[in-house]
Amino acid sequence: MTNELYTAFWNRYPHGIEGEEMKTSFRLFESAQKAVDFLNGRLQAIKSVNWAGGYVTDREDNVIYQIWDDGEIEDHRDVQIKASTAKNIERD
């Protein structure tokens, strides 16, 4: 078992009215891929007018994956993996 922890956050407009108070929910995962898959599933489950975006963070609260309100995706997992690898190399 790994000590990695990822959090998926998603925001929505409850009534689909931009400008109304957004509701934010979150869920914890042990793998980045499970968190990303879950977030993509939330995008599909929430009607487009209600979706206000979402993101996945790692244990250090770095955003590693983001889906904007228009559905555009930014995937930063490779950057995080490279940075993590560099930190491990520096420690050796």
pTM, to two decimals: 0.78
Ranges of H-type helices in 1-92? 32-45, 77-91
Contacts of 76 (CB under 8 A, 6+ apart): 62, 63, 64, 65, 66
Q: Are 63 and 77 in contact (CB under 8 A)?
A: no
pLDDT, tens digit, 9 for 90 and up, residues 12-63:
998 888 789 999 999 999 999 999 999 999 988 887 788 889 999 999 999 9
Q: What is the pLDDT of residue 80?
A: 57
